[in-house]
């Protein structure tokens, strides 16, 4: 009997990478690999990388430096593979800069991992960053019941990959390629299998998830709303989410799905990037600030307790103080429950990188700090509005202290519960008793509690932040 070989996969960046890492692990499980959390004992290390900003891309090289040292000190023959978007964008460069790397594999070639590994083991340094004709999803095996269990009751399913929008700052259309949707039947099979294995919540993911237009069983092209309506019929599936959406593709059917599907959580991540029409045009976003407000308005009509999240970039080339003020104004008007914000990072090969009017680093840093203060206040106000409210949480993992479990609220907040009368994978109705910076705390709601409501204070959501502070 051979010892099983050990695999360590580290994911950087977005949820799609987390999903892809699982699929790589599933593929290699068939080759006799078991996963480990310790890179030092691994026979194969895969870094699943992110290229979205320079900082993210540089992380791979520092990680490779650490691995090289570890390999030298231990005298081990661990194989090192680089996957993901840095692999796709800089395959040859990685091989040149990091001789420790045995294999570079782009996101569209993960199904070829077993053969690529065999080539690498035979002594070749392998780079595969093709966009092959065959569909990788047809060749990636499904996870075993044990693997699904170990990943918890909330799972991701990729429904769409790639992007045709070409925002002028973004590398995704180059690293992930053109937009492709998976067929509805394949998505349904994968989802039903996950639910059968104990999953209670599915997040449908894609770089442009609401541009989904997969082939339906009837031969026509289905929208994301239609797909989710079908998925809501899977018995045992308690919750549905989707990310990441583009404002341009936020159609009325999708908004109506938030009104009509009880499984669809009242939380939307909708990147706006900037509150200035001038900058949005320069970014090639294909929407203005009023379009964004109109979507939010419709969403709140369909689902009054809708919580919103977004992405922001400060210091895009040509951004003036007034443009930045417009972004602050948009944040105050919408009131976000959470948000991600970044300094603009010029990415080689994208149009904005060559723009003459780059914003100085200092101004970018100041603007980011100011925006983040505002977004944090907005998040704190939203969290505070949940105090005393009662809603279901999906218990996902143990907490730090004995007896604690951590679950997610409908609005994606972490909620800690002491000694819950329930187990991981259960939905538990809780009342929020404490609000901290990173999580909430709750107690199981009394069965006869008449104040039970599924929505947090919608007043805090629909009022502008200035009014909340007053």
In the complex, the residues that contact ligand SF4 under the rule CB under 6 A are 163, 165-167, 170, 172-173, 207-208, 246
Preceding omega of 244 cis (within 30 degrees of 0): yes
Distance in angstroms (rounded) separating the CA atoms of residues 321 and 268: 29
What is the enclosing helix (H) or strand (E) of 381?
helix 361-385
What's the min distance (Å) between Cβ of 251 and ligand SF4?
16
Q: Whose Cβ is closer to ligand SF4: residue 52's or residue 430's?
A: 52
Closest CA to 455 of 436, 432, 427, 426: 432
Distance in angstroms (rounded) separating the CA atoms of residues 458 and 102: 53
Q: Whose Cβ is closer to ligand SF4: residue 167's or residue 237's?
A: 167
Distances (CA, A) of 34 to 9, 46, 103, 245: 11, 13, 19, 34
Token pair recorded at residue 296: 């939010």
What's the min distance (Å) between Cβ of 174 and ligand SF4?
9
Are the beta carbons of 335 and 464 closer than 8 angstroms?
Answer: yes
Q: Whose Cβ is closer to ligand 5AD: residue 288's or residue 351's?
A: 351
Q: Whose Cβ is closer to ligand SF4: residue 172's or residue 225's?
A: 172
Lookup result for tokens 């700090």: 369
Residues of span 322-351 touching ligand 5AD by CB under 6 A: 342, 344-345, 347
Q: Whose Cβ is closer to ligand SF4: residue 167's or residue 257's?
A: 167
Distance in angstroms (rounded) separating the CA atoms of residues 104 and 259: 45
Closest CA to 458 of 338, 309, 308, 331: 308
Residue 19, contacted partner among ligand 5AD, ligand SF4, none, CB below 5-8 A by kind: none
What's the min distance (Å) between Cβ of 225 and ligand 5AD?
22
Q: Whose Cβ is closer to ligand SF4: residue 36's or residue 273's?
A: 273
Token pair recorded at residue 458: 């919608």
Please identify which residue in 84, 107, 247, 271 interacts with ligand 5AD, judged by CB under 6 A: 271
Q: Whose Cβ is closer to ligand SF4: residue 166's or residue 340's?
A: 166
Q: Is 33 left (phi over 0), alpha (psi -120 to 50) or beta?
A: beta
Are the beta carbons of 147 and 26 closer than 8 angstroms?
Answer: yes
Please identify which residue in 135, 311, 366, 426 interacts with ligand 5AD, judged by CB under 6 A: 311
Strand order in the sheet with 201-205: 154-158, 201-205, 239-243
With binding defined as CB under 6 A, does residue 292 bind ligand 5AD?
no
Using CB under 6 A as the binding criterion, the count of chain residues that bind ligand 5AD stands at 12
Sign of CA dihedral 117, 123, 127, 133: negative
Residues of span 162-181 touching ligand 5AD by CB under 6 A: 169-170
With binding defined as CB under 6 A, does residue 313 bind ligand 5AD?
yes
Q: Whose Cβ is closer to ligand SF4: residue 33's or residue 342's?
A: 342
Residues of span 361-380 touching ligand 5AD by CB under 6 A: none
With binding defined as CB under 6 A, does residue 104 bind ligand 5AD?
no
Residue 208, contacted partner among ligand SF4, ligand 5AD, none, CB below 5-8 A by kind: ligand SF4
Interacting residues with ligand 5AD (CB under 6 A): 52-53, 169-170, 271, 273, 311, 313, 342, 344-345, 347
């Amino acid at each position: 009997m051979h010892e099983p070989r050990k695999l360590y996969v580290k994911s950087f960046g977005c949820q799609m990478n987390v999903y892809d890492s699982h699929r790589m692990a599933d593929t290699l499980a068939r080759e006799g690999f078991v996963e480990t959390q310790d890179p030092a004992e691994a026979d194969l290390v895969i870094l699943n990388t992110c290229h979205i900003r320079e900082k993210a891309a540089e992380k791979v090289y520092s990680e490779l430096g650490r691995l090289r040292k570890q390999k030298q000190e231990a005298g081990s023959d661990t194989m090192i593979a680089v996957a993901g978007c840095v692999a796709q964008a800089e395959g040859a460069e990685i091989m040149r800069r990091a001789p420790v790397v045995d294999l570079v594999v782009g996101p569209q070639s993960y199904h070829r991992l077993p053969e690529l590994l065999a080539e690498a083991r035979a002594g070749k340094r392998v780079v595969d960053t093709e966009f092959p004709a065959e569909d990788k999803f047809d060749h990636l095996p499904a996870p075993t019941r044990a693997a699904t269990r170990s990943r918890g009751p909330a799972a991701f399913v990729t429904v769409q990959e790639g992007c045709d929008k070409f925002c002028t700052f973004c590398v995704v259309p180059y690293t992930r390629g053109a937009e492709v949707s998976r067929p509805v039947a394949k998505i349904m099979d994968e989802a039903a299998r996950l639910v059968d294995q104990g999953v209670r919540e599915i997040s449908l993911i894609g770089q442009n998830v609401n541009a989904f237009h997969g082939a339906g069983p009837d031969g026509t092209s289905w929208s994301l709303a239609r797909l989710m309506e079908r998925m809501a019929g899977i018995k045992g599936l308690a919750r549905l989410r989707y990310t990441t959406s583009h404002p341009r593709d936020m159609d009325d059917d999708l908004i109506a799905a938030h009104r009509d599907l009880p499984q669809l959580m009242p939380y939307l991540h909708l990147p706006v990037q900037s509150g200035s029409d001038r900058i949005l045009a320069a970014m090639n976003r294909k929407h203005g600030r009023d379009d964004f407000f109109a979507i939010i308005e419709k969403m709140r009509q369909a689902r009054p307790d809708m919580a919103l999240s977004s992405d922001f970039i400060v210091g895009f080339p040509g951004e003036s103080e007034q443009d930045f003020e417009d972004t602050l104004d948009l944040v105050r008007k919408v009131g976000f429950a959470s948000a991600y914000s970044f300094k603009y990072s010029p990415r080689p090969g994208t149009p904005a990188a060559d723009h003459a009017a780059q914003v100085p680093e200092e101004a970018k840093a100041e603007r980011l700090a100011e925006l983040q203060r505002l977004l944090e206040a907005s998040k704190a106000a939203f969290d505070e509005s949940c105090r005393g409210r009662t809603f279901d949480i999906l218990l996902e993992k143990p907490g730090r202290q004995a007896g604690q479990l951590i679950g997610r609220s409908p609005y994606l907040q972490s909620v800690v519960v002491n000694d819950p009368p329930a187990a991981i994978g259960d939905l538990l109705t809780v009342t929020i008793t404490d609000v901290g910076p990173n999580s909430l705390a709750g107690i199981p709601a009394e069965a006869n509690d008449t104040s039970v409501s599924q929505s947090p204070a919608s007043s805090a959501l629909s009022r502008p932040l200035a009014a909340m502070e007053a």
